[in-house]
Amino acid sequence: MSTTKSVELATPAAETFTLTENSTGRTFELPVIKGTTGPNVIDVRKLYAETGCFTYDPGFTSTGSCASGITYIDGDAGILLYRGYPIEELAEQSDYMEVCYLLLYGDLPSVEEKEKFRRDITYHTMVNEQITYFFRGFRRDSHPMAVMCGVVGALSAFYHDSTDITDPHHRMVASHRLIAKMPTIAAMTYKYSLGQPFMYPRNDLKYSENLLHMMYATPCESYDVNPVLARALRRILILHADHEQNASTSTVRLAGSSGANPFACIAAGIASLWGPAHGGANEAVLNMLEEIGSKHHIPEYIKRAKDKDDPFRLMGFGHRVYKNYDPRAKVMQKTCHEVLDELGMKDEALLELAMELERIALEDEYFVEKKLYPNVDFYSGIIFRAMGIPTSMFTVLFAVARTVGWVAQWNEMVEDPLQKIGRPRQLYTGETQRRYTPIDQRG
Ligand code: SDX
């Protein structure tokens, strides 16, 4: 079975775009390609050959980098679909293993397929015992994301039997290994920071429960995972599993386009996710709330967020694609209040401050006019805080969730008959050619 549905480009649409070069009157016909839904694309693959010009789109705000059948986002309508299924329905009715199967293979599993997949993942959750020695090289106070980057990249030194990207079986085994081992490595980074012994995964626990058990259990006594926290974590993992061609997924695809092994590509994705404008935002939200400190200071920070000369931005607000409410944020908001209520933390000062910031930002004209709604990171940071997870671990858990999306997109890229090494061009703005001047002749 191929790990992903092969991506068939929808038949090219009848229409084309005609480009006219005013200085010469030359015209160029650019075909338009239709997808199954969402914006069409103008096929510019021949543009440079025919016009001698590149397109120019820093940040890729208007650029489709690939054809994909995995995740669909309509930012204006606030729609997010995983293989066609609305995120709200998956968050409420599915579980993370089933969502992993869906993202990887394209359809919801049968009972037998789901049980086999769950077992395959479960029996890959241990890491090679040698990997425990990698941690010894890090300081105990290293940022967990730095450790994750290093250790996940090192996996390629252990699993040579699943690094041949041309072999579908290798790709499937590497995909399963990454999905299975990320929680174990995440929990190890946490335990290492505490100076506590690593806890092995348990095959009798479900994915979310296993992760929480490895993080919070000790060899000294039995530990029962709180079902409220396990349910909240399961929902967070589902909501963060994939998100179209975001920065870290595009990093994984670009790294993979050179033929790099999947472990190295996922390590590259982890590095990109770490940025505060991306997956690091949930950690940045909590750091921002601690800096604001009290509800009385909110107006000052809202003022700073609007000030073009002030680099301060309201962490957890805004999104490149969603110019309506992020549908994940709605589910996260509901989960956030459930967790706060069920843990009796409604009046926890920092969380109360967060709710007041949300209320004010949703009413403030600047944020309303620029459609800067709370995003998924705003609420995940608050839930993780309520769950007692240290701030520095927030993006690590985001990386655990997103690994299946990265892996599914990587497989799709490798299997895409149209894929080639990613190699963007540029608008050159530097010096034109000039002669070298020996140092004794320089001014
Ligand atoms: C994630 O891509 C994905 O899918 C990412 C993600 C995923 O699941 O993979 O959804 C996860 O990364 C969510 C985003 C988490 N990041 C943050 O919460 C950091 C704070 N947000 C901003 O950095 C910003 O909103 C971005 C980076 C998320 C989006 O930036 P864009 O699309 O480049 O938008 P922009 O910077 O062009 O902003 C448009 C305007 C600007 O003002 P003008 O220049 O038009 O006057 O809105 C302003 C910005 O100054 N603005 C903000 C703001 N975000 C945008 N002003 C204050 N606070 C903010 N948070």
| Nearest ligand 1 atom to alpha carbon 320 | 32
Can you tell me the mean pLDDT for 87-113?
Answer: 97
Let me know if 164 is a catalytic residue. Answer: no
Task: Determine whether the shortest distance from the Cβ of 252 to ligand 1 is under 6 A.
Answer: no
CA of 277 to the centre of ligand 1 (A): 7
Task: Give the CA dihedral 194, 199, 339, 288, nearest 10 degrees.
Answer: 30
- Which of 81, 47, 52, 86 lies closest to 63 in space, CA to CA? 47
Sheet of 79-82, strands arranged across:
71-74, 79-82, 85-86
- Give the tens place of pLDDT for each residue, 180-211: 999 999 999 999 999 999 999 999 999 999 99
Considering 213, 240, 319, 326, which one is annotated as catalytic?
A: 319
Ligand 1 atom closest to Cα of residue 59: 33
The 10s digit of each residue's pLDDT in 293-349 is 999 999 999 999 999 999 999 999 999 888 888 899 989 988 888 888 888 876 678
Helix (H, G, I), strand (E, B) or coil at 374: strand
Which pLDDT score is estimated for 6? 44
Least confident of 90-99, 193-202, 339-348, 351-360: 339-348
pLDDT value of position 3: 44
Q: How far is the CA of 98 from the centre of ligand 1 (A)?
A: 31
Whether the Cβ atoms of residue 138 and residue 193 lie closer than 8 Å to each other: no
Q: Work out the pLDDT band at 283, boundaries 50, 70, 90.
A: confident
Question: 31 falls in which pLDDT band (50, 70, 90)?
Answer: very high
- pLDDT number for residue 37: 95
Computed over every residue of the chain, the mean pLDDT equals 92
Instruction: Give nearest CA residue, ligand 1 atom 20.
Output: 315
Interval between CA 229 and ligand 1 midpoint (Å): 29
Among 286, 370, 376, which residue has the most ligand 1 atoms within 8 Å of its CB, making it the best to mutate?
370
Q: Identify which of 61, 319, 382 to mutate to test ligand 1's pocket (most ligand atoms within 8 A of the CB).
A: 319
pLDDT of residue 13: 54
Tell me the mean pLDDT in the region 349-367: 87
Percent over 70 (pLDDT), the chain: 96
Q: Is 319 assigned a catalytic role?
A: yes
- Residue 4 is predicted with a pLDDT of 46
Q: Residue 171: CB within 6 Å of ligand 1? A: no
User: Counting every residue, how long is the chain?
Assistant: 443
Task: Report the phi/psi class of residue 195: left, alpha or beta, with left for phi > 0 and alpha for psi in -120 to 50.
Answer: left
Q: How far is CA 51 from CA 19, 26, 30, 54, 417, in A?
A: 10, 9, 11, 8, 26
Query: How far is the C-alpha of 373 from the C-alpha of 362, rounded, in Å?
Result: 7
Per-residue pLDDT at 12:
53
- Distances from the Cα of 439 to the Cα of 160, 435, 443, angstroms: 51, 13, 9
Average pLDDT over residues 127-153: 95
- C-beta of 251 in contact with ligand 1 (< 6 A): no
pLDDT score of 44 more than 90: yes
Q: pLDDT tens-digit profile of 112-138? A: 999 999 999 999 999 999 999 999 999
Q: Which residue spans within 288-376 are E strands per DSSP?
A: none
pLDDT value of position 325: 83
d(CA 205, CA 122): 9
Output the pLDDT for position 5: 46
The contacts of residue 190 (CB under 8 Å, 6+ apart) are: 144, 215, 390, 393, 396
Q: Determine the pLDDT at residue 347.
A: 61
pLDDT tier, 14 (very low <50, low <70, confident <90, very high otherwise): low
